[in-house]
Structure 1
Amino acid sequence: MAASATATATSRADKERFICIYPAYLNNKKTIAEGRKIPIDKAVENPTSTEIQDVCAAVGFNVLLEKNKMYPREWNRDVQYRGRVRIQLKQDDGNPCLPQFPTRKSVMLYAAETIPKLKSRTQKMGGSDQSLQQGEGGKKGKGKKKK
């Protein structure tokens, strides 16, 4: 019994060292009252929990994605707005895991700055141009087949 009690105590301490970041914290479509925690000029348009996870894991954080969690102030129940990312900010001794990110705000600002550079974001923006080119190419191909 004592072993299980210590196991729960350590897991609770682990959970306490993990900070939560909801997509609403970084969303430039939200007001501060709706949950945005960074300046609007640094915020991102509709970030997802998966994007936040990808960015933070890439820089070397210990990351946990909780898909079915909802931000309490979020009234929209769509899948797009679901999820929360837990990030281990500090080690057992209280020192930051990554020295360049001492605070939760530094992590949020980094995530907001890096998300627009993700391949999934850049492909979506360039995707409309590519689909137009593909459509034109398809027409040319059909013309060749008719001959």
Structure 2
Amino acid sequence: MPQIEDITDADDIDDLDMDIAQFDPNLITPVAPLYEEKKEQEEEPAGPRRARPEDPALEVLRQKQADLPEHIPGEEDFKSMEAFTEEEREQLATMQVLYPCYFDSNRSVKEGRRAPLEKCVENPLAKTVLDACKILSLPSFLEFDKSHPQDFGNPGRVRVALKYEGKPTTEKIKSKRQLLDLVADYMVKHPTTLASVKQAPGPPELTRSSYKPLEVPKVEGFKMNTIVPLHSALTMKNPQTAGAYTVPNPAAAAQQQQKKQKQKIQRIRM
């Protein structure tokens, strides 16, 4: 089996002009980890301004994170992160991207897999990738509406700050290869189940109801999950769940009802 030594995001699909998805409430700072600034450093390198430990805005953000209640997936997860400024978007562009298909045991490297096959799992979800990054103490957040072009039925990807200004954000992880191995280890220990789906962001009509997720049938000729997020196109087209994604039209409903009530009268001429 060929060994992959260097992994980059050259083939990753990234459109920062579109809405940024869910921002992880457990993240202290969007990109930069806290670090000790060197005293001998008098000039800052050119580029986007980074968050510093002494920034008042960072202190406010830290306080807000401490006051946040336990996160429950719901309607708020589907709001775009319009609060991100252009400067913050530039910072986000420096973060590494992890797609769930990187850990799919049913895929080849050509089909999108990046982790070693022996460490891959079936039905990987972006939410599990995010949980792994949290355990590894890496700044990360979930973009729920982004998907890999070879895994369009399994939306969601994770942005993770593996490095900051060329230096690892944690001494434990110094390369993306090592990050993939550690995330894969976590996913093996936390396999995807149907119960996992309701723990991820989704329509409140489904996440907070008695709805029980079902596996979706595989399509011949496609590599795909049988367990997908609730906001997947494969779920939204399912008749059992389509009602949670459609907005009722009162005018159309009234017109339809009126048509049903119209009676035909047959006249007989003598």
Describe the SS at the equivalent of 1:41. Answer: helix
Say whether residues 1:46 and 2:46 are aligned partners: no
Task: Please give the per-residue CA displacement for 1:104-138, whole angstroms capped at 9, x wherever unaligned.
Answer: 121111011112223876x98xxxxxxxxxxxxxx
Is residue 139–residue 160 contact of structure 2 (8 Å, CA) maintained in 1? yes
Per the alignment, residue 135 of structure 2 pairs with 58
Is residue 104–residue 113 contact of structure 2 (8 Å, CA) maintained in 1? yes
Identity of aligned residues (%): 25
Task: Please give the per-residue CA displacement for 1:54-95, whole angstroms capped at 9, x wherever unaligned.
Answer: 111122010110111110122x52xxx11000000111x310
CA distance in 2 between counterparts of 1:28 and 1:61 reads 25
CA distance in 2 between counterparts of 1:57 and 1:49 reads 13
**Which one has more relative contact order, counting CA pairs under 8 Å at least 6 apart?**
1
Structure 2: tracts of 5 or more residues without a match? 1-47, 50-84, 197-270
Aligned residue pairs: how many?
A: 113
Structure 1: tracts of 5 or more residues without a match? 125-147
Q: Which has the higher helix share?
A: 1
Per the alignment, residue 108 of structure 1 pairs with 180
Per the alignment, residue 86 of structure 2 pairs with 8
Per the alignment, residue 101 of structure 2 pairs with 24
Q: Pick one of 94, 97, 101 that aligns with 2:166.
A: 94
Point out the structure with max Rg over C-alpha. Answer: 2
The alignment yields a C-alpha RMSD, in angstroms, of 2.4
Task: Please give the per-residue CA displacement for 1:27-76, whole angstroms capped at 9, x wherever unaligned.
Answer: 111111110012211212221000000111122010110111110122x5
Per the alignment, residue 245 of structure 2 pairs with none
Per the alignment, residue 147 of structure 2 pairs with 70
Is residue 38–residue 109 contact of structure 1 (8 Å, CA) maintained in 2? yes
Query: TM-score of the superposition, structure 1-length normalised?
Result: 0.67
CA distance in 2 between counterparts of 1:120 and 1:83 reads 15
